[in-house]
Amino acid sequence: MATDIKLAESPASYDGPGFSATSFDKIIGLARANSLWPLPFATSCCGIEFMSTMASHYDLGRFGAERPSFSPRQADMLLVAGTIAKKMGPIVKQVYLQMAEPRWVIAIGACASSGGIFDTYSVLQGIDRIIPVDVYVPGCPPRPEQILDGVLQVQELARNESLRRRNTEEYQHLLNSYSIQ
Amino acid sequence: MLTNEEVAQTIINQFGEAVTDFDDPYDLLTCSTSRDQIVPLITYLKGHQTFQFGFLTDITAIHYPDSVGKEFCVVYHIHSLINNFRLRIKVYLTAEDVHIPTMTPLFASANWMERETFDLFGIIFDGHPDLRRILNMEEMDYYPMRKEYPLEDGTREDKIDALFGR
């Protein structure tokens, strides 16, 4: 039934007949949060788990993430799923750099978050050593529900982010600490 | 059916003292030779009328940091598909001089195997057409499979003793 469709909640506003006044922050946050276009960077077992998250049963598309893009163009949520070897590190960073602001990053699973069980010479011990991460999803591998929860956390961040956050000195400082720009 | 004794005897007849340490752990015939003899030996086995060792299964190395004068061992596995017979040949090298002639003229597949062995153990294959790292990143400045380095990363904070009540 069409009546079962749950619409996004409208932000707090001042309403009158024929108009609704709210702040830019809220309305743009609403749009961003409900149209996060994911760029899956899947390297191993977590990638397989992420595929089932995208497939019909768990259906990442329900959250406005209907266009997984495999290209940095127009993507604003980077999902790193799986072990990132040190040799792969520069490629992950390049993909991140090619994404336009605003962009969010989810580290899916133990390997992407911390290197996981691969405490060894060839594996990057967590992608937060090369790019800033917004949400870490624990698990080895995490269930699709956990990945969806991570996406919901990012939605929450996107919804409540100030429009000027990406211009703040603090954010510039964060990027500089990764020697970005 | 080739037997281990048969193959070993043929090698001894041909190379005499140059091939030593015959053994058959788990029925896999194993012998050792020297750096100068490895290419002639494998050339001979590959071209042998009955043996026909036409397939190079693997080239790798082992590091024995404690055995003085024999710190490195390069291991060749060759396989005769005709006879379904495998042979392992070892060459011991000292840590000061990790040079060994390349096997690439004989087996094209040796190219990548030798690159991998160079990448992980730092064995230098003289005459290799393109000896550079194959698995690790180019910037890596050490040979990770040598037993000279701690096994773990050392910068991990989720494995500190305090978290495990140690």
The domain locations on chain A are 35-178
| Among candidate residues A4, A9, A55, the one with its CA nearest the CA of residue A155 | A9
A86 and chain B in contact, CB less than 8 A: yes
Asked whether residue B55 is domain-assigned, the answer is yes
> The CATH number of the domain where B102 resides is what?
3.30.460.80
- Sign of the dihedral through C-alpha A120, A122, A123, A128: positive
Place B74 in a pLDDT band, splitting at 50, 70 and 90. Answer: very high
Q: Tell me whether residues A120 and B155 touch, CB distance under 8 A.
A: no
The pLDDT of A130-157, averaged and rounded, is 92
pTM, 2 dp:
0.82
**One-letter identity of residue A180:** I
Angle at A155 between CA A151 and CA A160, to 5 degrees: 150
Domain that residue B103 falls in: 4-147
For residue A24, the model assigns a pLDDT of 86
The pLDDT of A143-152, averaged and rounded, is 92
A87 and chain B in contact, CB less than 8 A: yes
Model confidence pLDDT, tens digit, residues A80-128: 999 999 999 999 999 999 998 889 999 999 999 988 888 888 888 889 9
For residue A35, the model assigns a pLDDT of 87
Asked whether residue B106 is domain-assigned, the answer is yes
- Decide: A163 and A74 in contact? Cβ < 8 Å: no
Closest Cβ–Cβ partner in A86, A119, A122 for B152: A119
Which has the higher per-residue pLDDT, A7 or A53? Answer: A53
Q: Tell me whether residues A119 and B159 touch, CB distance under 8 A.
A: yes
For residue A66, the model assigns a pLDDT of 80
Q: Tell me whether residues A125 and B156 touch, CB distance under 8 A.
A: yes
Cβ-Cβ contacts under 8 Å, B135 against chain A: 87, 122
pLDDT at B148 over 80: yes
CA of A83 to nearest chain B CA: how many angstroms apart?
A: 15
The pLDDT of B92-109, averaged and rounded, is 93
Model confidence pLDDT, tens digit, residues B5-34: 999 999 999 998 899 899 999 999 999 999
Query: Domain A35-178: which topology?
Result: Rossmann fold (3.40.50)
Asked whether residue B165 is domain-assigned, the answer is no
Number of domains in chain B: 1
Asked whether residue B97 is domain-assigned, the answer is yes
Asked whether residue B85 is domain-assigned, the answer is yes
Asked whether residue B159 is domain-assigned, the answer is no
| Among candidate residues B116, B9, B28, B32, the one with its CA nearest the CA of residue B79 | B28
Place A147 in a pLDDT band, splitting at 50, 70 and 90. Answer: very high
- DSSP assignment string, A38-71: EEEEE-SHHHHHHHHHHSTTT-GGGGT-----SS
Q: What mean pLDDT, rounded, does chain B reach?
A: 91
CA of B80 to nearest chain A CA: how many angstroms apart?
A: 34
pLDDT at A151 over 70: yes
A140 and chain B in contact, CB less than 8 A: no
The pLDDT of B85-114, averaged and rounded, is 94
Distance CA A82, CA A45 (A): 6
Angle at B156 between CA B153 and CA B162, to 5 degrees: 125
Bridge-based pairing state of the strands B55-63 and A135-137: unpaired
pLDDT at A69 over 90: no
Asked whether residue B156 is domain-assigned, the answer is no
Phi-psi region of B164 (alpha: psi -120 to 50; beta: other; left: phi over 0): alpha
For residue B2, the model assigns a pLDDT of 87
Closest Cβ–Cβ partner in A87, A114, A115 for B136: A87
For residue A12, the model assigns a pLDDT of 84
For residue A116, the model assigns a pLDDT of 87
For residue A1, the model assigns a pLDDT of 59
